[in-house]
């Protein structure tokens, strides 16, 4: 290339070193061209000035590998002189450097040989040859890794030489050879290897990343990626070593982070695209990736023996790691602030653990080659722990350590990772039929379904498989449904165990307090030694339970973790609503279709049960503010389930959702719970919820459970509290009043009367029993005269009566309260012929107990302890009298032969006036009603005398009273009075004579008999009139 004096290009071309070609026709004097020419000339001059000499190459190699080629010029005190290589350089350095790969390889082989020779000389007296060789291997690996790092250092120090191809080639070869020899050392090429000793690479993975040579790990993996055998030989010991290291760690010691972070770092290394991750591909090929089960304890085996098991086992649960409780909660009387500080520290540590675990699993799933094996591992974790959800597991795990399943720490960490994977999964991305897909990894065949028998579900699945063209399952679907299954097997058993532990802790604390409170009675008796031993054991148990609780608080009461659970359950609730509505896009309308969608019917019950139990836990323990946004879908699910009881075979699922609402109301009083407020003001809820609750109140009379008799009172108590809250809203109140005109409401009132009768009767009987024992204990001579066994028996009976009394009175007060506000504004159903007699008899009996001479038997110490407020209860009952005051009710009161007496109302009036419970107007109305009842009673007595000789065919066969409206029972051919048989059918839908099914609409009016009865009455009445 030549340029004339004016700077024009003669040959129209710039040389190869400038890398550009110009057209001969291009302008020859532009500033751009002149600048390019100038730069080209400068680069050429620099290159010529910086041309690297053989001496500089020799010095560079010596610095990188810490060796010396001239004994007279030792670069450092640790540099190793290589005589053979030095001799070759002396002969012809240019020839030696011609093939840089061979030269560096030969030099390093000589270095190893020299080091080996010196090692043998220095350690000739060492008896343990194996340790000697292992240490040699570790030293050699460190040497080659440091050499790799020195390449980077030399490259920066002599950065101006980068344009010289010989120099750059030397650096590349130095790196390559450092990596190659590192690999050979790790494979045991130059020293003996032992499976009992960790890989030389392991210590450097556990160090701070800044102490490692940048890029070394990535380049080493890159170099080994094409050799599967070498890759496994080098990194399998590393992976197993990390697993073994973390197995011996506890979250009480910060060292747990290093092997975990190292594993995550290895998994995230990729070649080219994100889907090619060599370490992930290697992991799933190792025998320890998913070991086959060896015993029934397959869940526990998976945690202990699988490659990832130890990493997921990092836990703060006291049952998993006693060291955590000892370090963070060892103080006997830790202050609240100290507990909060320790809790927050552990939660932060747990977030770090779960974040690293997510990196590992995410990398394994991103890598195409390892994805399927990873999904198999995830599914196997769930499969081998499927019995964690069984009630036997929950009970036994509280009593003793569980050795068959994966630990709580393992499972909750596993859940956290799946939750994070599901964050971006939306319902439009999942296959709704996945649980029934032939390739589904989740087995629900043994689970109880929402609706239908196992035969019906099996038949539907067969039809589905024959008609459905199944498509391959995509990852979002598998991830979503695995996540729910993991909730079912991890967080739910944990919450149940927590609740059991909490109750046991409360009960044992009370036992200790009671025994210590009575120390004066037993300290000088033969029972002293036994009681002291009991106290010691109980306190040790309380300490253990308290450690368990505070450690569990870290995980189970973590707001972030619970928020993630709630967010997922909200999504699931939305999905279940879609199934219940058969994927209709229109606004929700109730009632739902009569035919239950089969996809919903085939869903396991626990899909609803788990949501209910989770919300109950959060409400009870007050750990998470249930945000309205998160609860919107769950609220809709509650409404649909409660208003569609026919969609479920198990009424207890509906009862659980009702309990959630009940607790939401109760725990937030006197404030309004935000999500309960949303439920109250939902347009669908305003019209349908209250009637649905009242229908369910009636339906739970028979649930099919062996404990149905006692269960119904708890369920009905929940309903009573909810309806009372809804009654405060005008729209709900109008819906209830509208419902009161239906026959269903009459059945509801009948159950309400039944419950009030039973609960008040049991409550008052308990109070009498408590009173008797308390009076006996006050009489010290009589009490001391009893044997120790007799006193113990009385004390136990007193404790039992107190528990029962509090429970019964809680239910009874709410039931009476409901009757009070309903009779005030919807009294007609209460005055039905089939109901009013029983209602009147119940009220009269309880009025006798509360205001007559018998009320002295109800006086107990600390009545508020049992929720017993006799004045309020009496005031409520007498209000009900006034609400129902009418000719029909007066007649019913007068017909009560068991409890009614004239003195009953007289005594009640006196007490009401004395206690100032009623206004004068109310007392006057009560007295007038009393007089009307007495007058009616006299009239009834006269009627009994006049019509007592009625023919048997005119009398009801059950009550032996003159029939007013006879009807024929088609199932038995018997005739009964309509009011009597209606009352019977309200409680039992069968014929009282042969138990055949019978309903109201089957009753046939006995018109002829009714006319004969009326004629007979008229005849008797005329005869009496004529006689008079």
Question: Tens digit of pLDDT for each residue in 886-940?
Answer: 999 999 999 888 888 888 899 899 989 988 999 999 999 999 999 999 999 888 7
Which contacts (CB < 8 Å, 24+ apart) does range 386-389 have?
386/443, 386/489, 387/299, 388/299, 388/489, 388/490, 388/493, 389/488, 389/489, 389/492, 389/493, 389/606
Instruction: For residues 968 and 941, state if they share a domain.
Output: no
Q: Pick from 896, 925, 948: which residue ends a domain?
A: 948
Cis amide prior to 401 (ω within 30 degrees)? no
Mean pLDDT, the chain, whole residue set: 86
pLDDT for res 591: 85
- Are residues 886 and 994 located together in one domain of the fold? no
Q: Which of 67-76, 480-489, 969-978 has the lowest mean pLDDT?
A: 67-76
**In the prediction, which pLDDT does 214 show?**
86
Dihedrals phi, psi of 694, to nearest 5 degrees = -70, -35
Model confidence at 783: pLDDT above 90: no
User: What mean pLDDT comes out for the span 159-177?
Assistant: 85
How many domains does the chain contain in total?
A: 2
Mean pLDDT of 613-622: 87
Same structural domain, 789 and 812: yes
State yes or no: pLDDT of 621 exceeds 90: no
Is 939 part of any domain? yes
960 and 928 assigned to the same domain: no
Is 883 among the domain residues? yes
Which residue is listed with tokens 């006879």? 966
Structure confidence at residue 9 (pLDDT): 34
Residue 1028: is its pLDDT beyond 60?
no
Q: What is the pLDDT of residue 368?
A: 92
In a domain, 851, yes or no: yes
Question: Looking at residue 9, what DSSP letter applies?
Answer: B
In this prediction, residue 857 carries a pLDDT of 82
Q: How confident is the model at residue 192 (pLDDT cuts 50, 70, 90)?
A: low
1020 compared with 315, residue with greater pLDDT = 315
Domain assignment of residue 871, yes or no: yes
pLDDT tens-place string over residues 463-517: 999 888 899 999 999 999 999 999 999 999 999 999 999 999 999 999 999 888 8
Whether pLDDT at 169 is above 60: yes
- Tens of pLDDT along 439-470? 999 999 999 999 988 899 999 999 999 888 89
Do 812 and 908 lie in one domain? The reply is yes
Q: What is the pLDDT of residue 1?
A: 38
**pLDDT at residue 627 in the model:** 66
Residue 179, pLDDT above cutoff 50:
yes
| Averaged pLDDT for residues 363-376 | 95
d(CA 190, CA 668): 72
- Work out the percent of the chain whose per-residue pLDDT is above 70: 89
* Residue-wise pLDDT tens digits, 227-284: 999 999 999 999 999 999 999 889 988 889 999 999 999 999 998 887 899 999 999 9
Q: Is residue 811 part of a domain?
A: yes
Digit-coded pLDDT (tens) for 121-132: 665 544 444 444
pLDDT value, residue 402: 64
Report yes or no on 925 lying in a domain: yes
Task: Specify whether 920 is located in the same domain as 1018.
Answer: no
Average pLDDT over residues 1009-1021: 86
Distances (CA, A) of 58 to 63, 98, 144, 168: 9, 13, 18, 14
Phi and psi (nearest 5°) for 997? Answer: -55, 135
Confidence of residue 3 (pLDDT cuts 50, 70, 90): very low
Confidence grade of residue 116 (pLDDT, cut at 50, 70, 90): confident
CB atoms within 10 A of CB 903: 11
> Where is pLDDT greater, at 1025 or 760?
760
Q: What is the CATH number of the domain that holds 999?
A: 3.30.40.10
The answer to whether the beta carbons of residues 385 and 391 sit under 8 Å apart is no
- pLDDT at residue 562, rounded to an integer: 92
Pair type for strands 80-81 and 67-68: parallel
**781 and 910 in a common domain:** yes
Looking at the fold, whether 902 and 980 belong to one and the same domain comes out as: no
Q: Is residue 609 part of a domain?
A: no
Name the residue range of residue 958's domain.
953-1026
Instruction: Measure the CA–CA gap between 262 and 222, rounded to whole angstroms.
Output: 17
Q: Sign of torsion, CA 58 59 60 66?
A: positive
Segment 533-545 shows an average pLDDT of: 92
Instruction: Tell which wins on pLDDT, 622 or 960.
Output: 960
Which positions ≥6 away from 463 have C-beta within 8 Å?
A: none
**Whole-angstrom distance, CA of residue 230 vs CA of residue 188:** 11
Query: Is pLDDT at 705 greater than 60 in this prediction?
Result: yes
- Same domain for 996 and 963, yes or no, is yes
Instruction: Name the nearest CA neighbour of 535 among 514, 506, 504, 505.
Output: 514
Residues 937 and 883 in one domain: yes
Whole-angstrom distance, CA of residue 104 vs CA of residue 98: 11
Q: Who's near 532: CB < 8 A, 6+ residues apart?
A: none
Q: Give the pLDDT mean for 325-343.
A: 85
Residues 968 and 928 in one domain: no
DSSP H or E stretch at residue 22: none
Same domain, yes or no: 891 and 754: yes
Q: Which of the listed residues 904, 930, 948 is the one where a domain comes to its end?
A: 948
Give the residue from 893, 868, 733, 885 showing the smallest Cα distance to 806. Answer: 868
Q: Over the stretch 641-683, which tens digit does the pLDDT of each residue have?
A: 999 989 999 999 999 999 999 998 887 666 777 888 888 888 8
Structural domain includes residue 317: no
Q: Binning pLDDT at 50, 70 and 90, where does residue 38 land?
A: low
**Which residues of 34-192 form beta strands (DSSP E)?**
67-68, 80-81
Domain termination residue (choose one: 948, 975, 1000): 948
Nearest Cα neighbor of 174 from 57, 78, 77, 54 is 57
């Amino acid at each position: 290339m030549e340029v004339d004096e004016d700077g024009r290009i003669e040959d129209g071309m710039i040389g190869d070193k400038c890398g550009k070609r110009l057209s001969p026709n291009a302008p020859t004097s532009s500033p751009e061209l002149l600048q390019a020419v100038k730069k080209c000339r400068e680069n050429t001059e620099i290159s010529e000035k910086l041309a690297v000499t053989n001496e500089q190459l020799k010095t560079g190699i010596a610095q990188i590998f810490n060796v010396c080629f001239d004994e007279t010029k030792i670069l450092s005190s640790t540099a190793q002189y290589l005589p053979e290589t030095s001799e070759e350089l002396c002969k012809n350095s240019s020839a030696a450097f011609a093939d840089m790969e061979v030269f560096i390889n030969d030099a390093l082989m000589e270095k190893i040989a020299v080091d080996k020779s010196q090692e043998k000389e220095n350690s000739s007296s060492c008896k343990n040859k194996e340790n000697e060789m292992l240490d040699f291997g570790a030293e050699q690996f460190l040497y080659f890794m440091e050499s790799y790092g020195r390449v980077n250092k030399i490259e920066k120090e002599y950065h101006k030489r980068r344009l010289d191809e010989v120099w750059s080639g030397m650096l590349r070869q130095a790196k390559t050879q450092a990596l190659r020899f590192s690999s050979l050392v790790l494979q045991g090429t130059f020293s003996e290897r032992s499976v009992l000793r960790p890989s030389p690479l392991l210590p450097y993975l556990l160090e701070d990343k800044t102490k490692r040579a940048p890029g070394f790990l990535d380049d080493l993996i890159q170099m080994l990626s094409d050799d599967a055998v070498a890759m496994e030989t080098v990194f399998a010991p590393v992976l197993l070593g990390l697993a073994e290291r973390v197995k011996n760690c506890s979250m009480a010691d910060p060292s747990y982070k290093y092997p975990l972070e190292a594993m995550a770092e290895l998994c995230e290394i990729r070649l080219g695209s994100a889907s090619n991750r060599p370490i992930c591909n290697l992991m799933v090929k190792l025998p320890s990736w998913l070991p086959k089960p060896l015993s029934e304890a397959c869940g526990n085996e998976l945690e202990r023996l699988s490659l990832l098991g130890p990493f997921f086992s990092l836990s703060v649960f006291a049952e998993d790691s006693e060291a955590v409780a000892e370090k963070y909660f060892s103080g006997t009387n830790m202050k609240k602030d100290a507990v909060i500080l320790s809790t927050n520290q552990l939660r932060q540590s747990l977030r770090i653990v779960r974040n690293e675990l997510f990196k590992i699993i995410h990398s394994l799933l991103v890598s195409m080659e390892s994805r399927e094996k990873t999904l198999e591992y995830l599914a196997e974790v769930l499969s081998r722990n499927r019995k964690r959800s069984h009630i036997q597991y929950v009970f036994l795990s509280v009593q003793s350590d569980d050795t068959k399943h994966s630990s709580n720490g393992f499972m909750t960490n596993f859940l956290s990772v799946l939750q994070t994977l599901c964050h971006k999964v939306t319902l439009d991305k999942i296959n709704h039929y996945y649980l029934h897909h032939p390739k589904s990894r989740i087995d629900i065949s043994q689970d109880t379904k929402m609706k239908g028998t196992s035969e019906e579900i099996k038949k539907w699945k067969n039809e589905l498989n024959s008609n459905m063209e199944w498509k391959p399952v995509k990852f979002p679907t598998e991830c979503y449904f695995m996540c729910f299954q993991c909730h079912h097997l991890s967080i739910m058993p944990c919450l149940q165990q927590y609740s059991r532990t909490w109750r046991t802790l409360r009960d044992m604390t009370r036992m200790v307090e009671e025994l210590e409170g009575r120390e004066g009675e037993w300290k000088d008796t033969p029972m002293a030694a036994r009681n002291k031993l009991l106290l010691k054991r109980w306190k040790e148990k309380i300490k253990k339970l308290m450690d368990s609780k505070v450690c569990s608080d870290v995980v189970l009461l973590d707001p972030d973790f619970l928020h993630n659970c709630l967010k997922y359950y909200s999504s699931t609730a939305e999905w279940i609503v879609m199934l219940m509505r058969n994927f209709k896009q229109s606004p929700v309308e109730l009632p739902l279709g009569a035919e239950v969608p089969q996809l919903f019917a085939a869903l396991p019950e626990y899909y609803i049960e788990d949501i209910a139990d989770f919300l109950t836990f959060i409400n009870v323990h007050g750990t998470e503010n249930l945000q309205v946004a998160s609860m919107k879908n769950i609220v809709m699910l509650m409404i649909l389930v409660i208003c569609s009881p026919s969609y479920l075979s198990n009424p207890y699922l509906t009862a659980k959702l009702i309990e959630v609402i009940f607790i939401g109301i109760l725990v937030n009083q006197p404030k309004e719970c935000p999500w309960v407020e949303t439920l109250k003001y939902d347009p669908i809820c305003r019209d349908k919820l209250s009637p649905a609750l009242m229908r369910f109140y009636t339906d739970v009379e028979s649930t099919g459970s062996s404990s149905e008799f006692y269960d119904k009172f708890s369920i009905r108590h929940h309903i009573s509290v909810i309806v009372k809250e809804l009654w405060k809203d005008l729209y709900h109140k109008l819906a209830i009043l509208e419902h009161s005109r239906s026959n269903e409401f009459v059945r509801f009132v009948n159950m309400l009367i039944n419950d009030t009768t039973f609960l008040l009767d049991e409550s008052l009987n308990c109070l009498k029993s408590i009173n008797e024992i308390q009076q006996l204990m006050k009489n010290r001579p009589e009490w001391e005269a009893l044997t120790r066994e007799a006193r113990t028996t009385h004390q136990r009976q007193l404790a039992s009566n107190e528990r029962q009394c509090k429970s019964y009175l809680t239910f009874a007060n709410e039931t009476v309260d409901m009757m009070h506000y309903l009779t005030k504004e919807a009294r007609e159903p209460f005055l039905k012929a089939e109901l009013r007699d029983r209602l009147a008899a119940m009220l009269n009996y309880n009025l006798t107990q509360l205001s007559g001479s018998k009320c002295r038997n109800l006086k107990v110490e600390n009545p508020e302890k049992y929720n017993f407020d006799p004045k309020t209860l009496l005031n409520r009952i007498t209000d009900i009298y006034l609400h129902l005051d009418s000719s029909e009710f007066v007649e019913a009161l007068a017909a009560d032969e068991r409890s009614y007496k004239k003195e009953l109302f007289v005594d009640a009036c006196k007490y009401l006036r004395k206690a100032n419970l009623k206004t004068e107007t109310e007392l006057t109305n009560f007295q007038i009603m009393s007089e009307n009842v007495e007058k009616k009673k006299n009239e009834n007595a006269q009627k009994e005398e006049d019509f007592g000789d009625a023919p048997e065919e005119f009398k009801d066969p059950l009550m032996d009273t003159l029939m007013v409206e006879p009807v024929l029972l088609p199932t038995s051919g018997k005739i009964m009075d309509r009011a009597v048989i209606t009352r019977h059918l309200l409680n039992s839908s069968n014929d009282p004579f042969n138990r055949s099914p019978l309903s109201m609409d089957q009753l046939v009016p006995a018109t002829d008999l009714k006319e004969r009865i009326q004629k007979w009455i008229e005849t008797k009445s005329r005869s009496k009139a004529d006689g008079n």
